[in-house]
Chains A and B, each alone.
Chain A
Amino acid sequence: MKTTITLQPAYLLHYRAYRDTSALLDLFTPEYGRVSVVAKGIRREKSSLKGVLQPFVPLLISCQGKGDLLTLTHAESRSAVWPLAGEALFSGMYLHEVLIRVLKRMAPETEIFRAYELVLKALTRQYTLEKVLRLFEKYLLHCLGYTLPLYQDSQTGHPIEAEFLYHFDPEKGAVKVNISQKTELPEDVYRGASLLALARGVLIENSILRDAKRLIRRALAPHLGPRPLNSRLLFKSL
């Protein structure tokens, strides 16, 4: 089956040198999801695409070919690169590692694409990185068909209450538990306040951010495969 993609918005997720002067690129597009292309001659000294085909540059690309690996026929930047620096840069790399693991080839992901672009924008501002990442991950799960059931006690149907503790399973939802709030909470038990904050997207306090990270990490794990995320290890050692 021949595929022709014409002037599709895209971002570069991963770049790998290929042969003497070419490169294999993993691109993220709204209508085709993850697209793998070979960019011929891009590593030549005089290649004008070298500066364009970089991560975090909003691109327009055209490519064509058969099967999983297409040939890049055109690339230009839509606007200036999102200027990520320092820890925001590492956050961006983390996002790419997550996206490479969850995005399917040639499957439209317009919502995720739009959210990804908003995250890049947010990462260039003075927002809390952790907050931006958690909200993106929550939305990513939703787009993948695994909306976090954060709104009610899944056994009783009662609304979640801030002062109670809940056992939370990413698929089955929250169930109220009666254990002391004073001891350290088990891995899958969260404060109601944290569940409510995550549901509303209001992640301000550090303790809530920590809970949100713990919860989303567990929820995302089955979609990322068994290998640990390298950028997560890197973040930790930063």
Chain B
Amino acid sequence: MTPTFSPLIDELIERLRCLPGVGPKSAQRMAFHLLSRERDKGKQLSQSLAKSMEDIGYCERCRTFSENPLCQICLQKSRDPAVLCVVETPADVLAVEQGSHFRGYYFVLMGHLSPLDGIGPEDIGLDKLSLRLAQGEIKEMVLATNPTVEGDATAHYIANMAKNHGIRATRIAYGVPIGGELEYIDSNTLAHAFNGRFEL
């Protein structure tokens, strides 16, 4: 990328490129847009970004993103503590929240088992999940990992853990295209998928 007239702008453009789908051209457009028309919003963005990057960690219970020890969902008392939905990413939590009538709690793996990439059970928090299952409150698990080979393998592994704790485990299956990612599936499909889940 050819340098502009300002090293600081060059740096901003370069930094913006870490966002998904942002190439040099759109990064440049964003930088100029903020500088020429949206100074205040730009400042708010930078503050929010700095605070988020600094303060957001992981929920102690479900492992999703949270700036507090427990996330907003884990804090909701109205949910059914006997049902736990296991998903791969925080985006999947939102997808299930928006696309289904699921009213239990979540566990977020932040990935999936992938031996070839050296990602094992502890890397996706299964040691933590096992402790939670041992507490005895959970009676049913919905395994909503992605319908990929790794997602299936992860679901199978967790289903085994569930069996060892005498917990019923179901896997969502219906209508989710192979190789698809939950985040990108429209709400209808997902609602359907939840209705059609089956026992592992």
Contacts and interface: CB of A to CB of B under 8 A. Distances in A.
Interface of A: 13-14, 16, 20-21, 45, 50-56, 81, 84-87, 89-90, 92-94, 96-97, 100, 229-231, 233-234, 237-238
Interface of B: 20-21, 113, 115-121, 148-149, 152-153, 156-157, 160, 177-180, 184
B116 A51 contact: no
Nearest to B200: A86
B119 to A, nearest CB: 8
Contacts of B149: 54-56, 84, 89, 92-93
B116 A89 contact: no
A55 B116 CA distance: 12
A230 B115 CA distance: 5
A234 B113 contact: yes
Contacts of B178: 51, 54, 81
B156 A234 contact: no
Contact of A90 (B20, B153, B179, B180): B153
A53 B179 CA distance: 8
Contacts of B117: 16
8 contacts: A14-B116, A51-B178, A54-B148, A54-B178, A56-B149, A89-B152, A231-B115, A234-B157
A234 B116 contact: no
A90 to B, nearest CB: 6
B115 A93 contact: yes
